[in-house]
Amino acid sequence: MKKLISFILTAAMLFGMTTAFAIDEGEARTVIGADITQTQKASVYKTFGISEGDVKELTVTNAEERQYLDGVVDASVIGTHSISCVYIKVLAAGKGLDVSTSNISWCTKEMYRNALMTAGIDDAQVIVTSPIQGISGTAALTGIYKAYEDITGTKLDTTAKLAGTQELVTTAELADEIGSTDAVTIVNELKEILGETKTMSDDELRAEIQRLADENNIEIKDSEIDQLMSLTRQLEKLDTNQLKQKVEEFQSTARKLAGAKDKVSKFAASFGDFLQSVGSFFSGLFGGSDKG
């Protein structure tokens, strides 16, 4: 699968809730795939950077995966064993989501991040890994939900979890067809206009998705439009204003980071010119002395 370009998304309030969960910074959990060996588990904990027993450990089974993902993710992707594992740690308010992955083939960190924000998870460090290369990572997605609910003592909104999962799946499948960047772009574009799509007929929504694709120079098939229509209808069930706000916050942060990167690049170039000038000065100085 093509890799997504790096996006940094800002934190947001939990969906379907009037207040954020009261949880302590530093609270952490691991969720281990039920079908890995003790040797593999030791490898996983090494990737997490902690020792077994340092934090509370939970287990995720294939049956639990199917409970969350059946009908959303193809059975061949879910598989019959739970292998992928996750470490989640609560960060200070406003820190957002810090997601990293290793040995995961089907989901990228950006896909996890977008899905988790849609599901209502914010301000957390998340490490997704597998002791075996090429694992889809669906057990870890289920594990993230399970860990967060255990930490907070509160169930995540079922509709939000389903929407988050569907977003991850749709983005992943679209990424294989139209590229990761275009897949994320068109999904985020739709999030910005959910208030309008609610009143659209299916034919109008189809035309709107095609318009967004054309506007962004994205070639899209009818079957892919159908996927995006299904996702849009699911996202419409959430707080559409908050979804729009998240996308706008992301875009604002991305622009600031791009501007900062540009300034750093210009500074580096200027500093390089300065050093070259200094070098030329001393070269001329000492070169002239040698000639005299």
Per-residue pLDDT of the chain (292 residues; tens, 9 = 90+): 333 322 222 222 223 222 334 467 899 999 999 999 999 999 999 999 999 999 999 999 999 888 777 766 777 777 789 999 999 999 998 888 999 999 998 777 877 887 778 777 888 999 999 999 988 888 888 888 888 889 888 888 888 888 888 888 888 889 889 987 899 889 989 999 999 999 999 999 999 999 999 999 999 999 999 999 999 999 999 888 887 877 776 566 555 545 544 444 443 444 344 344 434 433 343 344 333 3
Q: What pLDDT was estimated at residue 256?
A: 55
- The span from the CA of 115 to the CA of 271, in Å, is 41
Q: At what angle do helices 222-235 and 202-215 cross, to 10 degrees?
A: 110
Q: What pLDDT was estimated at residue 161?
A: 80
Q: What pLDDT was estimated at residue 225?
A: 96
- The span from the CA of 283 to the CA of 4, in Å, is 46
- φ, ψ of residue 54 to 5 degrees: the values are -65, -35
User: Domain spans of the chain?
Assistant: 28-159, 161-235
Look up residue 16 and give its amino acid.
G
Q: Which two tokens stand for residue 28?
A: 């952490």
What are the contacts of 212-216 at 24+ separation with CB within 8 A? 212/186, 213/186, 216/182, 216/185, 216/186, 216/189
- The span from the CA of 153 to the CA of 16, in Å, is 16
Backbone angle region of 273, left / alpha / beta, with phi > 0 → left and psi within -120 to 50 → alpha = alpha
Q: Which two tokens stand for residue 180?
A: 């990761």
- The span from the CA of 166 to the CA of 137, in Å, is 14
Q: What pLDDT was estimated at residue 190?
A: 94
Question: By CB neighbour count within 10 A (0-12 exposed, 13-18 middle, 19+ buried), where does 244 fall?
Answer: middle
- Predicted TM-score (pTM) above 0.75: no
